[in-house]
Chains A and B, each alone.
Chain A
Amino acid sequence: MSLAYLIKRLLMAIPTLFGVAIVVFVLLRVVPGDPIAMMIPPGARAEDIEHLRALYGLDKPILVQFGHWLVDMIGGNFGTSISLRQSVLGLVASRLPATLELSLTAILLATSLGIALGIAATYWRGRWPETLVDLVAGLAMAIPDFLWGLLFILGLGVLLPILPISGRLDPRLETDFTTNFYLIESILRGEFAITLSILTHLVLPAVALALPLTAAVTRILKSALKEAMSQDYILMARAKGFSKARIIWREAFRNALVPTVTLSGVQLTFLVGGTVLIERIFSYPGIGNMAIGAVIDRDLPLIQGLVLTFAVLFIALNLVIDMTYVLLNPRVRHG
């Protein structure tokens, strides 16, 4: 049942992807600024400009451009970046691992912290820890991740300089890695000095990214736990002689997890989107940072490639969330 469902969802994602591709393409053809003009030194001859334009295929009619682009895309060719003069695919592939490491760290942080806080608020319901959790969650949710990032830079980077605020690792360290998954590879190779450097550089951006999601998970879980704890099977568990802590963890939590996963899903995708600004703020070399640069430089092929990449990540993330929901809910699993 799960496999068929998975395939069905994958197939449903394709038209969405197609729609995304069309939107991306159309959006960027409306660009008023002339990307070619930005590359040429002033005073260039008209024929040089026309030559470059033809090279990048920007002189053909729109539909032809779209057709070429689509064919190229399916063939794996995403074009060449106008500002960086490298293949878009190559650029994305080189920077994607950094963003993935950052996002996954943030997601892990957010889920574990959010779950811990949600359970704590339930265990101490009606007492001060619950109020404290509510307050913290409210604040974490109201302030957007990029402001948290700036606050961290201000507080923990400048005023009290205890953590690094830019880059991915100490530039003095040598990395001779095969993949760009620095964190994972450094652990596998046992180069723990590098691991440590990467982790200290990840702390501030990952926490800033994680805070809104943590708040969402805490709130949603707390509400779902409250709902679960009012059910009859909880009374039954008490009648068996189990303690409150065990009941919350073994009986209520499994039930509360289901709606929590679905409802937190949206906030999770916001986290991935948040990498755009956070990476910029912390000068972290991922695709988010590159995206902002691409937009400012009006680098069409790169923008297209990156927006498409983000869309794919979003869709993949939604798929994972749906799958998790099915896994957690036996009623859906067995039909």
Chain B
Amino acid sequence: MSGLLEIEDLHLELPGPQGWLPILRGVSLALSPGQVLGLVGESGAGKTMVGKAVLGLQPERARISEGAIRFEGRDITHWRDEARRALLGRGMALIPQDPMSALNPVIRIEAQMTDVLRLHLGLDRRAARARALALLNQVHIREPERVLRQYPHELSGGMRQRILIAIAFACRPKLIVADEPTTALDVTVQRQILRLIKELQASSGTSLLFVTHDLGVVAKVCDRVAVMHAGRIVEAAAVAEVFTRPRHDYTRALFAATPRYDRPGEALVPVPAALSESLFVEAAAYDAARAARSSHA
């Protein structure tokens, strides 16, 4: 298989007051090298958890009860400690959601960029600094020397996100999980950042798992898209196909619900309650069937 990332029938649960709550119900995905896969859905659909599970950063109390995550052919589902740490930052990286809180407020930018370079690439201070400057140039930050000396609170949200993007690409990972990287930004800045991500992705050939709730973003950046609801993948296909001929009712409803800037007078159409209901019922049925299966086994 030439697949870079394969998620097979992933089941993830969190402990609740009355037992384990299913968060991911049999998620299956595949990502090839150089591909950008969008993961869409409403809040609570589980898309962020998929990203975290791939990185191995899911909450400690979570458990993966079934299924596997394979990266470059190796089963990394339950990798922890040293094996996982060798992977994180190097083979795969994260672009986090909130640039305001993802940078350490008491450490200068230079240290926060060079630390990962020195950890994984073994560079010394001078070489790491040079590389950090090059990275800042790549993300179009002016006066990179000045920025290196500054603290995060002295920079704007857009600049911070650029730096986080630079950090993600720093060690040339094969896969980057972008967790709603533009959600916390101004609309005007969002487009710039998206363009930047696309540009860097194209030039480096890194695969991207792009988690978002915004279909517009998917259209701009992704090659394929998977639609999620209640921890299940409802539809997955190439972006062009999904956008012109969505097959699942829910996908269609999501499109209809997206506010259109070119039709400002139009009323907003929420996802029909009945549709949502029926999907939740399906999810519950799935849980029941699974529980029955495991008690018989």
Q: Residues of A with Cβ closer than 8 Å to B?
A: 231-233, 235-243, 250-251, 254-255, 258, 328-331, 334
Which B88-121 residues have C-beta < 8 A from chain A?
A: 88-90, 93-94, 96, 98, 101-107, 115-116, 119-120
CB atoms of A254 and B93 under 8 A apart: no
CB atoms of A233 and B103 under 8 A apart: yes
Q: Is B247 an interface residue (CB 8 A)?
A: no
Contact with A along B38-64 (1 / 0, CB 8 A): 000000000000000001010000000
CB atoms of A239 and B90 under 8 A apart: no
Chain A nearest CB: distance from B225 CB in Å? 24
Q: How far is the CA of A233 from the CA of B102 in the complex (A)?
A: 4
With most chain B CB atoms within 10 A of its CB, the pick from A232, A241, A329, A334 is A241
From A241, A329, A330, A334, B87 is in contact (CB under 8 Å) with A241
Q: Residues of B with Cβ closer than 8 Å to A?
A: 55, 57, 85-90, 93-94, 96, 98, 101-107, 115-116, 119-120, 151, 153-154, 164, 167
Residues from chain A with a CB closer than 8 A to the CB of B106 are: 254-255, 258, 328-330
CB atoms of B85 and A235 under 8 A apart: no
With most chain B CB atoms within 10 A of its CB, the pick from A237, A238, A240, A330 is A240
Residues from chain A with a CB closer than 8 A to the CB of B120 are: 241
Q: How far is the CA of A240 from the CA of B96 in the complex (A)?
A: 12
With most chain A CB atoms within 10 A of its CB, the pick from B57, B93, B106 is B106
CB atoms of A241 and B101 under 8 A apart: no
Residues from chain B with a CB closer than 8 A to the CB of A255 are: 104-106
CB atoms of B57 and A240 under 8 A apart: no
Residues from chain B with a CB closer than 8 A to the CB of A233 are: 101-105
CB atoms of B98 and A232 under 8 A apart: yes
* 4 further A-B pairs in the complex, CB-CB below 8 A; given A233-B102, A241-B89: A232-B96, A233-B105, A235-B102, A236-B102
Chain A nearest CB: distance from B37 CB in Å? 19
CB atoms of A241 and B55 under 8 A apart: no
Given A235-B96, A334-B151, A241 contacting B86 (CB threshold 8 A)? yes
Chain A nearest CB: distance from B84 CB in Å? 8
CB atoms of B94 and A239 under 8 A apart: yes
From B55, B94, B104, B154, A334 is in contact (CB under 8 Å) with B154
Chain A nearest CB: distance from B165 CB in Å? 12
Chain A nearest CB: distance from B203 CB in Å? 22
Residues from chain A with a CB closer than 8 A to the CB of B93 are: 239-240
From B105, B119, B151, B153, A240 is in contact (CB under 8 Å) with B119
Residues from chain A with a CB closer than 8 A to the CB of B107 are: 251, 254
CB atoms of A330 and B153 under 8 A apart: yes
8 of the cross-chain contacts (CB-CB < 8 Å) are A235-B96, A236-B96, A238-B88, A239-B88, A241-B87, A241-B119, A242-B85, A258-B106
Q: How far is the CA of A235 from the CA of B105 in the complex (A)?
A: 14
Chain A nearest CB: distance from B290 CB in Å? 30
From A231, A235, A240, A329, B115 is in contact (CB under 8 Å) with A240
Chain A nearest CB: distance from B115 CB in Å? 7
Residues from chain A with a CB closer than 8 A to the CB of B105 are: 233, 255, 330-331
CB atoms of A232 and B85 under 8 A apart: no
CB atoms of B151 and A238 under 8 A apart: no
Given A235-B96, A241-B120, A251 contacting B104 (CB threshold 8 A)? yes
CB atoms of A242 and B119 under 8 A apart: yes
Residues from chain B with a CB closer than 8 A to the CB of A240 are: 88-89, 93, 115-116, 119, 167
Residue of B nearest to A257 (CB): B106
CB atoms of A232 and B88 under 8 A apart: no
From B96, B116, B151, A330 is in contact (CB under 8 Å) with B151
Chain B nearest CB: distance from A262 CB in Å? 15
Q: How far is the CA of A2 from the CA of B101 in the complex (A)?
A: 27
Given A238-B88, A330-B151, A232 contacting B57 (CB threshold 8 A)? no
Residue of A nearest to B115 (CB): A240
CB atoms of A239 and B153 under 8 A apart: no
Residue of A nearest to B104 (CB): A233
Residue of A nearest to B108 (CB): A330
Residues from chain A with a CB closer than 8 A to the CB of B101 are: 231-233
Q: How far is the CA of A243 from the CA of B103 in the complex (A)?
A: 17
Residues from chain B with a CB closer than 8 A to the CB of A334 are: 151, 154
Chain A nearest CB: distance from B169 CB in Å? 13
Residues from chain B with a CB closer than 8 A to the CB of A254 are: 104, 106-107
Residue of A nearest to B95 (CB): A239
